[in-house]
Chain A
Amino acid sequence: QSALTQPPSASGSPGQSVTVSCTGTSSDVGHYNYVSWYQHHPGKAPRLILYGVTERPSGVPDRFSGSKSGNTASLTVSGLQAEDEADYYCASYTGNINNLVVFGGGTKLTVL
């Protein structure tokens, strides 16, 4: 599997909503409801913010939400805050033992 496709950048003003897409194939995103999203501030450890397409781990604000349609998953960040500025990565389980998990190339979210 190739990397999932994400837009390289996205932006929004404080308080606005922004959506980041993540496009895979019928072998990964389209086949499994095992899409996860990670927030990464460079130099720090990545943070899991969504799993199972729509589920939030404990402690993640409900401003972060996820969805999926066909081979494309989406992350929506509502009520943008300055601290949301980070890199965001999607990932999908593939079931292929030669590449069990495929990640997206990442989206740099800028809060204007």
Chain B
Amino acid sequence: EVPLVESGGGLVKPGESLRLSCGTSGINFNNAWMTWVRQAPGKGLEWVGRIKDRSQGATVDYAAPVKGRFTISRDDSKTSVYLQMNSLKTEDTAVYFCTIGLCINNDCHWDDAFDIWGQGTMVTVSS
């Protein structure tokens, strides 16, 4: 069983929108802070944003290049996190991963050690 599975990628034109989903299984989702990371073709990994759990107000922080265009949300009833991408640009072309921080005996590294990753979903923005 794969803990994290991304879906929703595809080919879109500049200015269009796309919504990615990350379904989870076998993890304590309600308490988890979920992060999105992307990798452009031939480039390194790039942090996109993170949503905290509901007890922390489901607060979201975003990387500067996507702030105002991307929205991260969560549905605890479906143990899923979403990445709504609007006003897409060619430079948003990348594989998008969802990931979750390492937890050891309730000591969780939500923002500094990404332990479980999905396989990623490819987003291509091209005219």
Query: Which parts of B5-47 form the interface with A (CB within 8 Å)?
Result: 35, 37, 43-47
Q: Is B67 an interface residue (CB 8 A)?
A: yes
Instruction: Please give me the residue from chain B that is nearest to A33 by CB atom.
Output: B112
Most buried by B among A6, A44, A46: A46
Q: Is B111 an interface residue (CB 8 A)?
A: yes
In the complex, chain A residues whose CB is within 8 Å of the CB of B64: 98-99
In the complex, chain B residues whose CB is within 8 Å of the CB of A46: 45, 97, 99, 114, 117
Q: Are A102 and B44 in contact (CB under 8 A)?
A: no
Q: Is A64 an interface residue (CB 8 A)?
A: no
Q: Are A45 and B119 in contact (CB under 8 A)?
A: yes
Which bracket fits the contact residues of B? Answer: 20 to 34
Bound CA–CA A51/B64 (angstroms): 25
Q: Is B76 an interface residue (CB 8 A)?
A: no
Q: Is A86 an interface residue (CB 8 A)?
A: no
Instruction: Please give me the residue from chain A that is nearest to B60 by CB atom.
Output: A97
Most buried by A among B67, B97, B112: B112
Q: Is A73 an interface residue (CB 8 A)?
A: no
> Of B37, B67, B115, which one neighbours A48 at CB under 8 angstroms?
B115
> Of A44, A52, A106, which one neighbours B45 at CB under 8 angstroms?
A106
> Of A40, A99, A105, which one neighbours B47 at CB under 8 angstroms?
A99
In the complex, chain B residues whose CB is within 8 Å of the CB of A102: 47
In the complex, chain A residues whose CB is within 8 Å of the CB of B113: 34, 36, 48, 51-52, 57
Q: Are A101 and B44 in contact (CB under 8 A)?
A: no
In the complex, chain A residues whose CB is within 8 Å of the CB of B45: 38, 40, 46, 89, 91, 103, 106
> How distant is A97 from chain B, measured CB to nearest CB, in Å?
5
Bound CA–CA A61/B102 (angstroms): 17
Q: Are B117 and A45 in contact (CB under 8 A)?
A: yes
Q: Is A104 an interface residue (CB 8 A)?
A: yes
Selected A-B contacts with CB under 8 Å, 16 pairs: A34-B109, A38-B114, A44-B119, A46-B117, A48-B114, A48-B115, A52-B113, A91-B47, A98-B62, A98-B64, A98-B67, A100-B47, A100-B61, A105-B43, A106-B44, A106-B45
